């Protein structure tokens, strides 16, 4: 038997030697250094640890956020009060006309004297009556030719006007005067009466009282909600004050404004305020 051409295999099934030359080189698989695989494993471990730590941090942050937002209770309280104004301000005006400024000024001085006398005769005091400075304005009139064409304007005298302001706590009397100026008109005075304005001089006291009542109302609402939910209220965490709305009595909320509203046209008014409170829950 010829052993020279026989092929031999190892136990693993790969050729051991061929052609009868047992000393020939046998191919080997490539060798990979162990150091490179170690670095890759370490990098993977570091990345995994970073992901886990980030997930824990996010979870903790969300937990705290839910805790801080869900463990509070808040409510808005309101309070309102009707009150009567204790101060009235009434304005009127009158004017005079003359071709010369001197004559117009003499006429308005006469009118002022008549107006002041009229107010004092109707129960007002001198310190309740105030007069503005006299304003003066030149008058002109348009001119036309015989065919009706406009030809320009020419000087036509002076108009002088003055305002009188009454500030009083005698509301009934001023209201009566403001609605009846017929005697002034009978005296030849072109008097124009404006609607009175109404104010309250102790408004700050009303505001303080409303804030107190609105705060109590908000707290009562929170107590009711907490009791019905079986929760226990902790410390006050936040509070905010709304704007004051002062409207005519029985006018509803149609006049409410984002920046607040202050009615001066009505003698009887309603003041309203809101207060929001927030408490922590134990």
Give domain status of residue 6, yes or no: no
Q: What pLDDT score does 194 carry?
A: 95
Q: What percentage of the chain carries pLDDT values higher than 70?
A: 79
Same domain, 121 and 137: yes
- Residues 214, 81: Cα–Cα separation, whole Å: 11
Q: Among residues 42, 29, 271, which one has the least CA distance to residue 263? A: 271
Pair 63, 97 in one domain: no
3 occurs within a structural domain: no
**Residue 194 half-sphere exposure toward CB, CA atoms < 13 A:** 16
* Structure-token pair, residue 274: 């809101």
Confidence of residue 16 (pLDDT cuts 50, 70, 90): very low
Domain identity same for 46 and 117: no
Predicted pLDDT of residue 235: 94
Return the pLDDT at 103.
Answer: 96
Once rounded to an integer, what is the mean pLDDT over residues 252-276? 90
Kindly state whether residues 116 and 153 are assigned to the same domain: yes
Residue ranges of E strands in 201-267: 233-241, 245-248, 261-262
Residues 164, 109: one domain?
A: yes
Q: Which of 155-164, 174-183, 252-261 has the highest mean pLDDT?
A: 155-164
Domain limit, last residue, from 168, 199, 230:
199
**Residues facing residue 130 across a β-bridge:** 165
118: exposed, middle or buried (C-beta count within 10 Å: 0-12, 13-18, 19+)? Answer: middle
Q: Could you tell me if 231 and 281 are in contact, meaning their C-beta atoms sit under 8 angstroms apart?
A: yes
Residue 11: pLDDT over 70? no
Assign residue 19 a region (left: φ > 0; alpha: ψ between -120 and 50; beta: otherwise): left
Q: Could you say which DSSP state residue 127 is in? A: G
Stated as kind and residue range, the H or E segment containing 173 is helix 171-179
Q: Is residue 19 part of a domain?
A: no
Q: Which of 155, 176, 199 is the last residue of a domain?
A: 199
> Which of the four pLDDT bands, split at 50, 70 and 90, describes residue 44?
confident
Is residue 147, in this structure, part of any structural domain at all? yes
* Contact call for residues 141 and 153 (beta carbons, < 8 A): yes
Q: Give the CATH number, domain containing residue 253.
A: 3.30.110.170
Q: Are residues 154 and 254 in the same domain?
A: no
DSSP result, 68-123: HHHTEEEEEEEEEEEEE--EEEEEEEEEEEESSHHHHHHHHHHHHHHHHHHHHHTT
22 located within any domain: no
* 155: in domain: yes
Same domain, 195 and 104: yes
How does pLDDT run across 165-214, given as a tens digit for each residue?
A: 999 999 999 999 999 988 899 988 989 999 999 999 999 999 999 999 99
pLDDT band at 159; cut points 50, 70, 90: very high
SS3 8: strand
pTM of the model: 0.70
Q: Are 173 and 123 in contact (CB under 8 A)?
A: yes
**What domain count does the chain have?**
3
The residue-averaged pLDDT of 227-252 equals 93
Task: Give yes or no for a contact between 141 and 156, defined as CB atoms under 8 angstroms apart.
Answer: yes
Confidence of residue 259 (pLDDT cuts 50, 70, 90): confident
Of the listed ranges 1-10, 155-164, 181-190, the least confidently predicted one is 1-10
Question: Domain range spanning residue 212?
Answer: 73-84+202-281
CATH number at residue 147: 3.30.70.2970
Q: Do 42 and 143 share a domain, yes or no?
A: no
Q: Are 234 and 282 in contact, with CB atoms under 8 Å apart?
A: yes
Total length of the chain: 282
Domain boundary, last residue among 178, 199, 220: 199
Q: Is residue 7 part of a domain?
A: no
Domain co-membership, 177 together with 219: no
* First-to-final CA distance of the chain: 100
Among candidate residues 159, 164, 157, 160, the one with its CA nearest the CA of residue 184:
164
Answer yes or no: do 123 and 181 share one domain: yes
**For residue range 45-69, what is the model confidence (pLDDT) as tens digits?**
777 787 886 767 656 554 554 445 5
Mean pLDDT computed over every residue of the chain: 85
pLDDT at 250: 87
Please indicate, yes or no, whether residues 190 and 210 belong to a single structural domain of this protein: no
The gap from C-alpha 238 to its chain's centroid, in whole angstroms, comes to 18
**pLDDT band at residue 1 under the 50/70/90 scheme:** very low
Give me the sign of the Cα torsion angle 69, 70, 72, 77.
Answer: positive
Domain annotation covers residue 25: no
Mark whether 101 and 113 lie in a shared domain.
yes
């Amino acid at each position: 038997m010829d052993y020279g051409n026989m092929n031999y295999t190892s136990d693993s099934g790969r050729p051991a030697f061929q052609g009868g030359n047992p000393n020939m080189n046998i191919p080997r698989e490539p060798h990979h250094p162990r150091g490179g695989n170690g670095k890759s494993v370490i990098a993977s471990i570091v990345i995994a640890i970073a992901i886990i730590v980030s997930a824990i941090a996010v979870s903790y942050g969300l937990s705290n956020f839910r805790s801080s937002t869900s463990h509070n209770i808040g409510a808005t309280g309101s309070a309102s009060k009707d009150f009567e104004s204790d101060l009235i301000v009434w304005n009127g005006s009158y004017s005079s006309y003359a071709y010369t400024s001197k004559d117009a000024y003499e006429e308005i001085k006469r009118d002022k004297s008549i107006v002041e006398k009229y107010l004092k005769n109707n129960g007002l005091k001198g310190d309740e009556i105030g007069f503005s400075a006299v304003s003066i304005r030149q008058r002109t009139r348009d001119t036309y030719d015989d065919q009706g064409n406009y030809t320009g304007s020419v000087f036509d005298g002076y108009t002088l006007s003055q305002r009188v302001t009454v500030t009083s706590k005698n509301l009934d009397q001023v209201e009566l005067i403001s609605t009846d100026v017929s005697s002034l008109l009978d005296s030849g005075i072109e008097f124009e009466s404006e609607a009175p304005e109404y104010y309250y001089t102790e408004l700050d006291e009303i505001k303080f009282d409303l804030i107190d009542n609105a705060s109590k109302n908000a707290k009562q609402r929170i107590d009711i909600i907490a009791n019905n939910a079986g929760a226990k209220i902790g410390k006050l965490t936040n509070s905010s004050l709304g704007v004051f709305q002062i409207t005519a009595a029985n006018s509803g909320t149609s006049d409410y404004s984002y920046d607040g509203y202050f009615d001066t046209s009505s003698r009887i008014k309603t003041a309203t305020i809101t207060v929001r409170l927030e408490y922590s829950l134990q």
